[in-house]
Structure 1
């Protein structure tokens, strides 16, 4: 991972509290969703109560939109989905979803070609699992699983815009305090390394 992604991970690290929860699906239909990107705020911590936060990296912010925006496909379920528009920044879409997980899946679609990849990393930024597919206007599912997943990374190379829908995840057991301390030290090391490289 590059320094931008590491910095985003450090900034967005989120640990779940309480007992292990059941499998959860976020279908993005519970947020007020306009048809156009200009009418929506970026998705960040709107689902923090479920143990999930979102942060864009190396590209445009993610927004929840209604399918009425003329994407060339409807939502996978309901009427809303998580959308991105690379034409805004001229960069590929690249996002961090922070949560403590045992497994996760999400559906992807775009009529702009390209690929979508879902990667899972542990708290020390080691790749745990990865799944990729060629994008089309038909929804397809990306799935990952593994131990001690701390965050997910979504990367899409669609030439302009696309969408993700129905994020499903199975929360993992809560890390021990010693593990969280190691994670904190690792992220501080990443921050210090970035500072040195900037001078």
Structure 2
């Protein structure tokens, strides 16, 4: 019986030893990983986005229970796209008093290890919290994008000459990438915002996410060998 237990422990080590949760690393500034990218292009102005990207394993919602929407250039508030002409922003479908202010949530059908998006508010009034959740709704990691961190037009936040301060609002690139790398496939959803100040609008673009690599063939061989050994020991024990 003891030998059976030893084999079981050995197999467990092989199976799970290399798949522990690494320390969650917040990412602010530029993306540090590749993966799948959703750029929100190709939709009409005001299109509600919930299951439109379910084929990629992602659905979208808001912190107030509403559904985010597409905003195409020229934008309805002071923010910019990460690329192209479209961004994802909040709608009033969940009861928000204005469009663009509700918190945005991306939910992954299968948890991921890394996730984030281009985040823009070029006339920020407050701070924004970004949070990664596990499949049980627990917080993996959370951090705050402060008012002075966001590149902005004059008189707001961190003034950046590259930000488009004139109408129509149709700039690209004035913003930062925000996200997480937790090392293991634990992120079931990621939430952006809302602002700490009432009626502060923002948008995201180029949502990207990535899962951990498939185990190497050698690792799979070791796992298979361990399982075979476990089955052999069970037969001997029963005999």
State if a TM-score over 0.5 links the two structures. Answer: yes
Deviation at 1:70, TM superposition (A): 4.3
Q: What SS does the aligned partner of 2:52 have?
A: coil
User: Any gaps of 5 or more consecutive residues in structure 2?
Assistant: 1-33, 153-173, 215-239
Matches within 5 A, 1:57-76: 57-58=63-64, 61-76=67-82
**1:113 match: secondary structure:** coil
Match in the other structure for 2:209 = 169
Q: State the 4+ residue runs in structure 1 displaced beyond 4 angstroms.
A: none
CA distance in 1 between counterparts of 2:80 and 2:137 reads 34
**Residue deviations 1:131-163 (CA, integer Å, cap 9, x gap):** 321354430121212231111122221524221
The answer as to 2:149 corresponding to 1:142 is: no
Is 1:102–2:113 an aligned residue pair? yes
Q: Number of paired residues? A: 147
- TM-score normalised over the length of structure 2: 0.54
CA distance in 1 between partners of 2:176 and 2:54 (Å): 26
- 3-state DSSP of counterpart to 1:69: coil
Determine the structure 1 residue equivalent to 2:20: none
Q: For residues 124 and 73 of structure 1, what CA distance do their matches in structure 2 show?
A: 33
> Aligned partners of 1:93, 1:58: CA distance in 2, in Å?
7
Is the CA contact (8 Å cut-off) linking 2:52 and 2:59 kept in structure 1? yes
If the length of structure 1 is used for normalisation, what is the TM-score?
Answer: 0.63
Q: Using a 3 Å threshold, how does the CA distance of structure 1 residues 95 and 69 change in structure 2: closer, same or farther?
A: closer
Relative contact order (C-alpha < 8 Å, sep 6+): which is higher?
A: 2
Shift of 1:60: 5.1
SS of 2:51's partner is: coil
Which has a greater percent of strand? Answer: 1
Deviation for aligned residue 1:173:
7.4
State which structure, 1 or 2, has the greater radius of gyration over its C-alpha atoms: 2
Measured in 1, the distance between the counterparts of 2:50 and 2:136 equals 22
Q: Does residue 90 of structure 1 match 2:97?
A: yes
| Structure 1: gaps of 5 or more residues | 1-21, 35-39, 175-199
Q: 1:165 to 1:61 in 2, by over 3 A?
A: same
